[in-house]
Amino acid sequence: MAELKDDKGSDLEKKLSYKAEFAWSKFSDEQKKAARNFVLDYMVFLGEARTERERVTFAERVAQGKGFKRIEIGQEANQLKPGDKVYYINRGKNIALFIVGEKPMTEGTRFIGAHMDYPRLDLKIRPVYEKDGFALFKTHYYGGLKKYQFATVPLALTGIVVKKDGTQVLVNIGHEPDDPVFTVPDLLIHLARNYQGDRKMADVLKAEEMNALAGALQNEDEKAKERFKLNILSILNEKYGITEEDLHSAELSLVPTIAPRFVGLDKSMVGGAGQDDGSCSYLALRAVLDLNNGIPAFTVGTGLFDKEETGSNGPTGAQSSWFRQIFIDLLSRSGVKGSLTNMHVAMSSMKMISADVTAALDPSFGSVHDSQTAAIAGKGVVIEKYSGSGGKYGTNDATAEYVGFVRGVFDARKVPFQYGTLGQVDAGGGGTIAMFFSQAFNCDVVDCGVPLLNMHSPFEIAHIADLYSGYLAYSAFFTSK
Ligand code: MN
Ligand code: MN
């Protein structure tokens, strides 16, 4: 990528050394305008779709608007032809969208995977109880979070209750302006000094103290033993026709209701919940939906997964064989002769980007980062060769060859990007879905995503230049040769 003209440093230095530049100043006026519009669309998604289920619904709606057709594994196994747009959905929590390419999948596929779940408070299986004049919901935190950050903020209740006859009841309370919200109370500072003062970070609020206010009025039934609890059960029954036992077959979560907002006088950043990994999910979704250059050379796809924050387990996590099943289904519909060898050739020749966020260097906590390798907010989407922790444990570690390929692709399309790692060695670490695909498919995968501040908090921060750069990067990847 061409360097910005500046007078600092010698010519030889400029020729030989590498320095990532801030991306915004590299965009043309037209690109800046496009970036601003893109970010506005992104903020609608972020505010509207907050759980994996809501995000699948959102993705399906926009995909249908772009002419994508839903197919099911093995059903009406009609042949597909180059240019056909299809998608698969798994249990309402995964969606994968493909555009069939000119070349057979045995020659390669371009796939981007991201995750749509994010840290939140799930309701326990029997959540409602009463104490000291309140009805409360017991919660069980999901994913890695600083629990105290999810107290004293407004939370919406969202999810699904399934009755024993199979009836599905969708619950969504707290997103509309006149909806009530919920909140986990924290102890007032006046009484907290001794009680909480010496607690460590993870226990400032302990897991069993993460109880959300559900109500504070007694039911009119004076004979009832627990009138506060009964009042909540009675409202739920009136609104949704459910009883306390129905809550055992439910997935209900409390998620921050804070609406996405621009941050900074220059509106250079977006603040909002669920940008890990809603940001990369949305960019990857748009990259496939907006691919308008006729028929792509290779079959391209975006897959959006669940359960990343808890280890990618279960049928809807990235370790599930669902993706392998739809990959093979697509392979057989797209004219490749069914044989194990063809399947293996197609799997191992897939090229993938694991689109997940990484840490942006935090200006107030520089000591946990390595300033030489940390991603800087505003310098573009980040290629992260490896993640993991300690001595590179649990890392996918993309090959040098593949990182070389990807940087070539981005450079050729003048995408501003940077390279980065998550933090200082031994400071901590993290993983993504990258390794599950590289292992199951024996294919090349590299992590590449948006750097965030406040990751896993109710108000994560992404730079608008990084969001748009990510969109350009994923779009370039889809048309790579
Ligand atoms: Mn995460
Ligand atoms: Mn993530």
Checking if the pLDDT of 2 tops 70, the result is: no
How much is the average pLDDT of 432-452? 97
Q: Measure 457 CA to ligand 1 centroid, in angstroms.
A: 10
Residue 3 binned pLDDT confidence (cut-offs 50, 70, 90): very low
What is the CA(342)–ligand 1 centre distance, in A? 35
Q: Which residues make beta-bridge pairs with 355? A: none
Higher-confidence position of 353 and 426:
353
Residue 3 lies in a domain: no
Residue 294 pLDDT grade (very low, low, confident, very high; cuts 50, 70, 90): confident
21-45 residue pLDDT tens: 999 999 999 999 999 999 999 999 9
**85-90 and 69-70 as β-strands: parallel, antiparallel, unpaired?**
parallel
User: Is 392:386 a contact under the CB 8 Å cutoff?
Assistant: yes
Q: Tell me, in angstroms, the distance from the centre of ligand 2 to residue 58's CA.
A: 19
Kindly give the distance from the C-alpha atom of residue 276 to the centroid of ligand 2, in angstroms, as a whole number: 5
What would the mean pLDDT of 399-417 be, rounded to a whole number? 98
Please state, for a pLDDT cut of 70, what percent of the chain lies above it: 99
Adjacent-strand bridge partners of 3:
none
pLDDT score for 338: 80
| Number of domains, the chain | 2
Q: How far is CA 120 from CA 98, 117, 307, 431, in A?
A: 30, 9, 12, 18
For residues 31 and 337, the model is more confident at 31
Place 441 in a pLDDT band, splitting at 50, 70 and 90: very high
In this prediction, residue 293 has a pLDDT band, given cuts at 50, 70 and 90, of confident
pLDDT computed for residue 237 by the predictor: 98
Domain annotation covers residue 265: no
Q: From the CA of 441, how far away is ligand 1's center (Å)? A: 23
User: Has residue 9 been placed in a domain?
Assistant: no
Find the 116 Cα to ligand 1 centroid distance in Å. 10
* pLDDT single digits (tens) 78-105: 899 999 999 999 999 999 999 999 999 9
Cα separation, 409 vs 65, in Å, equals 29
The reply to whether 186 and 323 lie within a common domain is no
Nearest ligand for residue 447 CA: 2
Calculate mean pLDDT across residues 408-413. 97
Same domain? For 148 and 105 the reply is: no
> What is the Å distance from ligand 2's center to 329 Cα?
28
| 301: confidence class by pLDDT, cuts 50, 70, 90 | very high
The angle subtended at Cα 451 by Cα 446 and Cα 457, nearest 5°, is 120
Does residue 7 form part of some domain?
Answer: no
- Is the separation of the CB atoms in 360 and 276 below 8 Å? no
* Domain end among 191, 226, 256: 256
Domain final residue, candidates 201, 231, 256 = 256
Residue 423 CA: distances (Å) to CA of 90, 201, 209, 390, 428: 34, 19, 31, 11, 7
Highest mean pLDDT: which of 286-295, 423-432, 470-479? Answer: 470-479
CA angle 143-326-168, nearest 5°?
A: 60
276 Cα–ligand 1 center, Å? 5
- Biggest alpha carbon–alpha carbon distance for the chain: 87
Q: What is the CATH number of the domain that holds 455?
A: 3.40.630.10
Supply the pTM of this predicted model: 0.96
pLDDT digits (tens, 9 = 90+) for 140-158: 999 999 999 999 999 999 9
| Burial (0-12, 13-18, 19+ Cβ within 10 Å), 66 | middle
User: Quick one: average pLDDT of 333-344?
Assistant: 90
* Mean local confidence (pLDDT), 320-335: 95
For residues 220-247, give the mean pLDDT: 97
Give the range of the structural domain holding residue 155, as residue numbers without chain letter. 120-256
CATH number at residue 222: 2.30.250.10
- Integer Cα distance of 344 and 364 in angstroms: 48
- Domain membership flag for residue 15: no
Q: How far is the CA of 236 from the centre of ligand 1 (A)?
A: 32
Q: Give the model's confidence band at 5: pLDDT under 50 very low, under 70 low, under 90 confident, else very high.
A: low
Instruction: Give the end of a domain, one of 256, 281, 299.
Output: 256
Task: Say if 266 falls within a structural domain.
Answer: no
